[in-house]
Structure 1
Amino acid sequence: MKTIPLPPQSTAELMERADSMAGLSLGLLAHSHNIVVPKNLKRNKGWVGQLIEHELGAIAGSKPEPDFINLGIELKTIPINHHGKPMETTYVTTAPLLNIQGLTWEKSVVCHKLQQVLWVPVQGERHTPIAERQIGTPILWQPSTEETQQIKQDWEEIMELIALGQVEKITARHGEVLQLRPKAANSKILTESIGENGQLILTNPRGFYLKIAFTHQILSQLI
């Protein structure tokens, strides 16, 4: 693998790099970095995102802060079908299940990560070989006041349920644009959370995800 590109020093530099990827196949981009393309993504679920991160010089990794820390920009690679519609929900961050007293929306990781997002659409339909899937036109998005309010309202409602010990009762149907779902390799992975009577319970880790209809709306507005 080649040396990891240095992080971009400005938004303009980041967008220049991102724009230069548009139209390239994943195979071509991987080859330029001497990276092997996996045969399928079942065991390599994050491979596409990692390849894009590598090309653009993202350095935050799994840290609870935007991928381009110095620019305050989060990177989201989003698989789309031939109609341009996202094919899956978009993971934002792990949800805190303990020590959440006093946590406000403004101090939340969700808020920080979604201040500004670089969306990189990539062909995602399974019948197209991974190496042949093309990278789409990148979109730099800042949520409108209305969009921020939608996300904030969902976040606050979900966090209130967690604080009340209702984590096991939260389903993917909760929230208009933001949802809470189990986030673990398998159901055997457990973490501590708050129970209905304030006691500690063991439950699956949870993550915040943006719903498909919301991300489709974002892409539709700006493409």
Structure 2
Amino acid sequence: MKPEPKSEQELLERARSIAGMSFADLAQEANMTVPNDLRRDKGWVGQLLEWHLGATAGSKPQQDFADLGIELKSIPIGYNGQPLETTFVCVAPLTGVYGLTWEQSHVRNKLSRVLWLPVEGERDIPLPDRRVGMPLIWSPSPEEEAELKADWEELMEMIVLGQFAEITAKHGEVLQLRPKAANGKVLTEAYGATGKPIRTLPRGFYLRTQFTARILQRNYV
């Protein structure tokens, strides 16, 4: 892995240096094997980009570039320039959430400063041939943060009340809460509507595609 960048500008320049390169070229330099597809290797693209950019946080709740306060998010893009899927932000806390505020949340911490790195995502493009796009450093505007905060507070209130069965992907205008597990057998501790401990699927926060599409449109058009 390349050394961690010392500044935001160095990180941005490093990201620009791999723009236009294919996954095959990047994997060869990193001595990584390109998988046949991403169904069983969903995190492979992120790991490849982390290697080239010098991200060290891995799956920790802090930002990928903790010293710089910057999170790395790759975003698969279609031929029309639109995001092809929602963007995972972080795992949602299901216990110890009483009194937790938006300002203290992992979601706000992760999204306070983001390096967006678009990648070609159309399935008819062979994985080795897919290329990396031009990077973008972004922080939410006051309006965007207000949208995120409103959704986060609504979803966290449902978690506090133990309303897991009622939470669907339709909740939240820009931020949604969905199961985050390799399979349905992976359960974690939470508290149900009666306040008693229960076992339920882990949940994760995801940005809706219309929100990330707006970010791209405002900054690339």
CA separation in 2, counterparts of 1:127 and 1:57? 30
CA separation in 2, counterparts of 1:161 and 1:179? 12
What residue number does 1:71 align with? 68
AA in 2 matched with 1:100:
V
Kindly indicate whether residue 187 of structure 2 is the aligned counterpart of residue 190 of structure 1.
yes
CA separation in 2, counterparts of 1:187 and 1:165? 19
Match of 1:111 among 86, 108, 118: 108
Q: Please give the secondary structure, in 1, of the residue aligned with 2:148.
A: helix
CA separation in 1, counterparts of 2:132 and 2:123? 15
Q: Please give the secondary structure, in 1, of the residue aligned with 2:39.
A: coil
CA separation in 2, counterparts of 1:177 and 1:155? 9
Greater shift, 25-34 or 71-80, is seen at: 25-34
What residue number does 1:220 align with? 217
* Equivalence map 1:31-180=2 (5 Å): 31-180=28-177
User: Normalising to structure 2: TM-score of the pair?
Assistant: 0.98
AA in 2 matched with 1:109:
H
How far the C-alpha of 1:32 sits from its partner, in A, is 1.3
CA separation in 2, counterparts of 1:42 and 1:19? 28
Count the aligned residue pairs: 220
Question: For structure 2, which runs of at least 5 residues remain unmatched after alignment?
Answer: none
- Two-structure CA RMSD over aligned residues (Å): 0.7
How far the C-alpha of 1:100 sits from its partner, in A, is 0.7
Kindly indicate whether residue 16 of structure 2 is the aligned counterpart of residue 19 of structure 1.
yes
Moved over 4 A (4+): none
Kindly indicate whether residue 178 of structure 2 is the aligned counterpart of residue 181 of structure 1.
yes
Question: For structure 1, which runs of at least 5 residues remain unmatched after alignment?
Answer: none
User: Normalising to structure 1: TM-score of the pair?
Assistant: 0.97
AA in 1 matched with 2:169:
A
How far the C-alpha of 1:148 sits from its partner, in A, is 0.3
Task: Report sequence identity in percent.
Answer: 57
